[in-house]
Structure 1
Amino acid sequence: MSPAQERAWSELSPRYLIEVPRAVASTSVAHGSELDPAEVWGRTAPLIVEIGSGQGHAIVHAAAARPEADFLAVEVFKAGLARTMKDADAAGVGNLRLVEANAPEVLTHLVPAASVDELWVFFPDPWHKKRHTKRRLVTAEFAALAARALKAGGMLRLATDWEDYALQMAEVMDAADGFARAFEGEWAPRFDGRVMTAFERKGRAAGREIRDLAYTRI
């Protein structure tokens, strides 16, 4: 991390970071580590979770715009979390918490079942080389974990700038138990709650179309 990120981590992690018991890996989550949202945020409010929050541009903006909701950023890269905390502090955001952990383990062990109102996966690593596509996040296994975490009527929002990944996402989620499309046509309208980030700009600059998907937990 840069010196500024090191300072942010040292000074701000007690305020923003949720410490979780580990299993084996440094970003794992031990079984039995379920958090209590009312205790973490000090209130009962809609809970929005972003998987792969990166440097936090989308979730910090959203948390500042929606103070009535609680936000959880899930990321494995410490530098990105440090930047998120730094920007959240500068924006005076108090309804955001962060966790340094693998997304599947967060959805399995950390968030309570049927506790999440919205789950966001924006511009996940496309692993665009054919031999690497098996590493992609959005699979049938992920859909099952998302179904566990979301409340009835909750929303899963997805976005990518890689066409073949968008097609894979649609195929997976259309076949997933407990979900129904929340849009008509081939793709969902751009989610207006998502601020334009560097990932989206980069994709557009490269001539790639941004594709959104949205599914309701039924």
Structure 2
Amino acid sequence: MSKLQNHTHDGQAPGRQTRDRSEPRFPGGPVADPAGSHHERRIRSFQPRRSRVTTGQGDALQRLWPLWGFEIDGHGTLDPAEMFGGLPVVLEIGFGMGEATAQMAAADPGTGILAVDVHTPGQGNLLGLAERNGLSNVRVANGDAIILLREMLVPGSLDGMRVYFPDPWPKKRHHKRRLIQPEFLTLAAKCLKPGAVLHCATDWEPYAEQMLDVLSAHPDFENTQEDGGYAPRPAFRPLTRFEGQGLDKGHVVNDLLFRRVG
């Protein structure tokens, strides 16, 4: 169990317990900031979300994290193929509650999915889905994907990368927080094999336009679409509940599929 402390001062009632925030919320589960302050910081493109975890999600985190969880701590190198017993591996950055990830894993058991997020309920939910559906080709990584790409992945070790519905950071002053930037693409290119596809999707049209501009200008990527535009939604990308809600509101969803060249 997490360490608990009894407080009898500072205005708290005797016997009231609070959790030591430096320790995991779930024994053996993901930690709040696996890389700590030991590695160069950049502007984060995500906001850690430690919202309410259900009993089932918490149970999955406690039981399954030691088996299928991975902390992005910035220490050592990782060869994804070894993690998945030699399977080709796709990195998914930001998976929400994991329903689409689980569907893609079930539809393509010959591909390993290394799914990265910082959303604790989603981590637990995906682990539970993987167990219930017998998915041995899913691993869940906790932490900043930038640190994973920059410091931990073996170059040329990924067979694909997926970034579905990243935070659009709609306010102009926050655009620098958007994930799809030239610096990110350079890191992604280093980790992707030649011919591997980076697949992005967003329902925020101004962000889609920026994605298309930045990807088209990057020397390490080429558009898979002959017309240089957006791609039809591939059959392998499930229509998520979040996406359906956006479509109901009149949002336009754009897919971008760019191939690693060289």
Q: TM-score, normalised by structure 1?
A: 0.91
User: What is the one-letter code of the residue matched to 2:244?
Assistant: R
| Counterpart residue number, 1:26 | none
CA contact (8 A) 2:71 2:143 kept: no
How far 1:103 moved relative to its partner? Answer: 1.2
2:66 to 8, 14, 34: 14
Alignment of 1:192 onto 2:244: no
Q: Give structure 1 stretches of 5+ with no counterpart.
A: 23-29
Counterpart AA for 1:208: H
C-alpha distance in 2 between matches for 1:111 and 1:53: 19
Shift of the alpha carbon at 1:165? Answer: 0.2
Deviation at residue 119 of structure 1 after TM alignment: 0.2
1:176 aligned onto 2:228: no
* CA drift at 1:39: 3.0
Q: What is the identity percentage for the equivalent residue pairs of Structure 1 and Structure 2?
A: 39
Structure with the higher helix share, 1 or 2: 1
User: How far off its partner does 1:123 sit?
Assistant: 0.5
RMSD between aligned alpha carbons?
A: 1.3
Whether the 8 Å contact between 2:81 and 2:157 is mirrored in structure 1 is no
> Does residue 201 of structure 2 align to residue 153 of structure 1?
no
Which has the bigger relative contact order, CA under 8 A and spacing at least 6?
A: 1
Shift of residue 133 of structure 1? 1.9
What SS class does the counterpart of residue 62 from structure 1 fall into? Answer: helix
Maintained 8 Å contact 1:51/1:74:
yes
Instruction: Give the 5 Å matches for 1:109-148.
Output: 109-148=151-190
- Which amino acid is the alignment partner of residue 67 of structure 2? R
**Residue in structure 2 matched with residue 164 of structure 1 by the alignment:** 206
Hey, what does 2:143 align to over in structure 1?
101
Is the 1:53–1:75 Cα contact (8 Å) retained in structure 2?
A: yes
Q: Which has the larger radius of gyration?
A: 2
| Shift of residue 191, structure 1, vs aligned partner | 1.8
Distance in structure 1 (CA, Å) of the matches to 2:64 and 2:197:
30
Residue 210 of structure 1, CA deviation: 0.7
